[in-house]
Amino acid sequence: MNRDLICIICPRGCMLHVEEQNGELCVSGNACPRGKQYAIDECTNPLRTITSIVRVSNREDTMVSVKTANPIPKGKIFDAMEKIRAVSVEAPVKIGDVILNDVFGADIVATKDVE
């Protein structure tokens, strides 16, 4: 495997190069260890935090913003979005309220208050 990617962990945006040597992934171009871990994760089990909105059923034309409480596998994003689209909540909603439990390993939580 040979792969180039940009580290998105911090604004510096290091250009990373990943090469497989003797069954191990070797990372270069990273200015710190977080970049190395990011590159390895990206090549073996890429994860993403997703954001979306959920309808508030007892408020006219109102949505509440939500996100995964922790990253989920990148390959599950569309399935997770389907689950999020299928639910609605009732106000009041507080930041951090769990809207959906365990969607591919992450709770879906509110990111704003709706009174």
Q: By the criterion CB under 6 A, which residues form the site for ligand SF4?
A: 7, 9-10, 12-14, 30-32, 34-35
Element (H, E) at 73: strand 72-73
Q: What phi and psi, each to the nearest 5 degrees, are found at residue 92?
A: -80, 150
Q: Judged by CB, which is closer to ligand SF4: 10, or 98?
A: 10
Tell me the residue nearest to ligand SF4 as measured from the CB. Answer: 35
Closest C-alpha among 94, 36, 106 to residue 67:
106
> Nearer to ligand SF4 by C-beta: 5 or 53?
5
Nearer to ligand SF4, 42 or 106 (CB): 42
